[in-house]
Structure 1
Amino acid sequence: MSATAAGALLVSLLTFAAPAPAQAAVPATIPLKLTNNSGRSEPVHVYTIGTSLTDGRQGWADANGTFHAWPAGGIPPVPAPDASIPGPAAGQSKTIRIPKLSGRIYFSYGQKLVFKLATGGLVQPAVQNPSDPNRDIQFNWSEYTLNDSGLWLNSTQVDMFSAPYAVGVQRADGSTANTGHLKPGGYHAVFNALRAQPGGWAGLVQTRSDGTPLRALSPGHGVQTGALPASVMDGYINRVWQKYTTQTLTVTPFADQPGTRYFGRVSGNVMHFTNGAGAVVTSFQKPDADSVFGCHRLLDAPNDAVRGPISRTLCAGFNRSTLLVNPNQPDTSAAAFYQDAGTNHYARIIHDRMADGKAYAFAFDDVGHHESLVHDGNPRQAYLTLDPFS
């Protein structure tokens, strides 16, 4: 899940799937049932946008699942074609079709979203930027990949927590899985808990001029925009660095490969990881809060077999504050998460308000399978349910 920087271009979206098998079992499009249980009277606008897995073009899909490539953009960015699909009215359902893409399903209440095209591609909403034209629109999105290996569909809070919704899939055997529902009253409880959390976390909440809460920014965006103090994780990060100056951090990044282990020790400002032969395989400068919350920069995680898996493990340990209490990572037991005062309170608060405890509150929340994701290799139907705000 990418944390979209202000004004950033949609160049690519995370693909959850493994490479497709030689023979496809999944049709070119599948039905997506949209259900509006929001209780809101405003019209709903739905968008399916993403990158074609056939030829890599960016574009959008209409209600029938037909893919349309975006036209050329400009400098400054020019308005994108209207890709909106009328959503279901309150209390109603509507079925559209979604094609094989790696992309997002946006939905907005009351107003259509503003999308523009630059020379490099689509400019997505970036509401951490106060001048973004979508700043006062109530909206959210789900992320999905549909390919020959199946469907991966999640609810995400990696960039923000906003309009509540859940996702689901009907599997090939007819059973249904869903995730993303909040506990009763959970929507406003998230905002109230952030406002009550000392240390500047209240600054993540964005409201309309009348005080109506619209969303909470992720802490990474909060740090980047000054809404959350950049020093908010310094104490915890310093304690971790001090601990592993004299102790060893053991990372076993692959659950199915218990023999693959790496050993971290801090020297000065750097944590070096060695393999079983004692050779240094990768090193990390002491991260800052932005690197921790975004799982990037000083905790960059390339798509490789060594640094990326170690980094994602470190990132999960920092956000969940398990690195001081367990020198063997990843720690996948939710009972140990978020127990230190120096933790990702945004992630803690969201997970605590989810009906099944699952969420994508930071980029590598899937470490240990704590993410709000549904998947099937041959899906019959997908679901997106707009949930009540109260």
Structure 2
Amino acid sequence: MAPATLGRRGRRTLVTIATAAVLGATLAVGAPVTAAPAQAAVPATIPLDLTNQSGRGEAVYVYVIGTDLASGRQGYADANGVFHPWPAGGNPPTPAPDASIPGPAAGQSKTIQLPKFSGRVYFSYGQKLQFRLTTGGLVQPAVQNASDPNRNILFNWTEYTLNDSGLWINSTQVDMFSAPYSVGVRRGDGGTATIGKLKAGGYNGVINALRGQQGGWSNLVQTRSDGTVLRVLAPLYGLETGALPRNVMDDYVNRVWQKYSSETLTVTPFTDQPNNKFYGRVSGNVMNFTNGSGAVVTSFQKPDADSIFGCHKLLDAPNDQVRGPISRTLCAGFNRSTLLTNPNQPDSSSAGFYRDGVTNHYARAIHSQMADGKAYAFAFDDVGNHESLVHDGNPQRASITLDPFS
């Protein structure tokens, strides 16, 4: 299996969110980006408050890793927010420098400085993570690979971008559901916003829901030899490891293709352009999309589960004004199983999500256990504003809270 370098699978990153406004339209995939007022320039670093409410006694290690936006170089930051570029890697990969920052003990808090990165803040319990460097950059943990050195470590991460337009920080489950946490920002007006909080009992609720779901979904739960639940793999990795059958979504896809052989699927991808619509019909086993003039603008072959769960391959989403926005909408509709019940996409309400027996049960379980229903359970979970993301153009502080395992 290929090493998991930063940005693998071409998945949507927060730097995309931070620059979405340059497209000249607001995609129906998240809140509009608001630039910071000129009089409130974002400083080089902002405080990041780490609070440990996990109830666990192990030592916590924190890592701030990503791309330094001033130089474009990859590296890590120390507790003071000072950037350290990675040294050259090798083939085979060589050990990376120890980038760990001691985290807060149970019941305690600690403040570090968050620099202008597009990257991740990792945290691990009990053991330090092992990062390696190739000639192409940093190798991220790839716990779907049984031989990955981090496979038996309990850890998680948040993704963030801090730049001159503000802070974007999320709670992500795109790759896995693991050690619970929530994130927040103190806004320039003194108010606060938090996201990613589970309901009481939500952590065990997600795990138990997947363990009780037939069809291979229980195989996504990874445990340590002592019985500790380490994580639930996202279904894309379930396909890669053989935990989920490759045909897990075929029945739903076949029904969608049949429906739109005689009906039209209407996609309105831009919230601020309600008259900019694309119309999908299946012909010759291909879904063709036309614009308002009737010209074919893009086409999709019947997607498989890999393309659906990864929002890639047959559902590739280039950063353009046509195929990408349509593909993002299709990806969301397949994962949420709304394409049969609503011929007008995307959905603004979550009331009809995950109702079909063939659906992304991983995403269903996670969203059902979130206090506000919002999550990043697949790459384009922000279609229709259902994602766990907070943003402010003039952030005063950021926060990550390590939440209870209950």
1:217 corresponds to: 233
The answer to whether the 8 Å contact 1:34/1:93 transfers is: yes
1:254, distance to aligned residue in structure 2 (A): 0.5
- SS for the counterpart of 1:214 is strand
The match for 1:306 among 322, 328, 345 is 322
1:192, distance to aligned residue in structure 2 (A): 0.8
Q: How many residues align?
A: 386
Identity percentage of aligned residues? 76
The answer to whether the 8 Å contact 1:11/1:121 transfers is: no
Pairing 1:9–2:5 present: yes
Pairing 1:84–2:100 present: yes
Pairing 1:341–2:357 present: yes
Please, which runs of 5 or more residues in structure 1 have no aligned partner?
Answer: none
The answer to whether the 8 Å contact 1:6/1:126 transfers is: no
Q: What does the per-residue CA deviation read over 1:344-380, in whole Å, with 9 as the maximum and x for residues that have no partner?
A: 0000000001111110000011011111111100000
Inter-partner Cα distance in structure 2 for 1:232 and 1:323: 17
- SS for the counterpart of 1:334 is coil
1:11, distance to aligned residue in structure 2 (A): 5.1
Pairing 1:114–2:135 present: no
1:237 corresponds to: 253
Q: What does the per-residue CA deviation read over 1:41-95, in whole Å, with 9 as the maximum and x for residues that have no partner?
A: 1000000000111221100000000111100000000000000000000000000
The match for 1:57 among 58, 61, 73 is 73
Correspondence list, 1:354-369, <5 A: 354-369=370-385
- SS for the counterpart of 1:190 is helix
Pairing 1:158–2:177 present: no
1:269, distance to aligned residue in structure 2 (A): 2.1
Pairing 1:94–2:95 present: no
2:155 corresponds to: 139
For 2:18, give the aligned amino acid. Answer: A
The answer to whether the 8 Å contact 1:11/1:122 transfers is: no
2:28 corresponds to: none
Inter-partner Cα distance in structure 2 for 1:320 and 1:61: 37
Inter-partner Cα distance in structure 2 for 1:97 and 1:363: 28
1:38 corresponds to: 54
Instruction: Say if 1:220 and 1:140 are closer, same or farther in 2 by CA, change over 3 A.
Output: same
The answer to whether the 8 Å contact 1:6/1:128 transfers is: no
Correspondence list, 1:378-389, <5 A: 378-389=394-405
Please, which runs of 5 or more residues in structure 2 have no aligned partner?
Answer: 23-34
- SS for the counterpart of 1:335 is coil
Pairing 1:287–2:288 present: no
Inter-partner Cα distance in structure 2 for 1:389 and 1:6: 31
Inter-partner Cα distance in structure 2 for 1:162 and 1:175: 29
Instruction: Say if 1:376 and 1:21 are closer, same or farther in 2 by CA, change over 3 A.
Output: closer
Pairing 1:266–2:282 present: yes
The answer to whether the 8 Å contact 1:11/1:120 transfers is: no
Please identify, of 284-293 and 22-31, the stretch whose mean Cα deviation from structure 2 is larger.
22-31
1:104 corresponds to: 120
The answer to whether the 8 Å contact 2:159/2:171 transfers is: yes
2:341 corresponds to: 325
1:201 corresponds to: 217
Q: What does the per-residue CA deviation read over 1:156-210, in whole Å, with 9 as the maximum and x for residues that have no partner?
A: 0000000000000000000011011111111111111101111110010000112
Inter-partner Cα distance in structure 2 for 1:280 and 1:224: 34
Inter-partner Cα distance in structure 1 for 2:81 and 2:71: 16
1:267, distance to aligned residue in structure 2 (A): 1.0
- SS for the counterpart of 1:356 is coil
1:6, distance to aligned residue in structure 2 (A): 4.9
The answer to whether the 8 Å contact 1:205/1:217 transfers is: yes
CA RMSD of aligned residues (A): 1.3
The answer to whether the 8 Å contact 1:30/1:382 transfers is: yes
1:268, distance to aligned residue in structure 2 (A): 2.0
Inter-partner Cα distance in structure 2 for 1:240 and 1:154: 32
2:393 corresponds to: 377
For 1:316, give the aligned amino acid. Answer: A
Instruction: Say if 1:347 and 1:150 are closer, same or farther in 2 by CA, change over 3 A.
Output: same
Pairing 1:351–2:341 present: no
Inter-partner Cα distance in structure 2 for 1:123 and 1:190: 28
Inter-partner Cα distance in structure 1 for 2:42 and 2:371: 30
The answer to whether the 8 Å contact 2:268/2:278 transfers is: yes
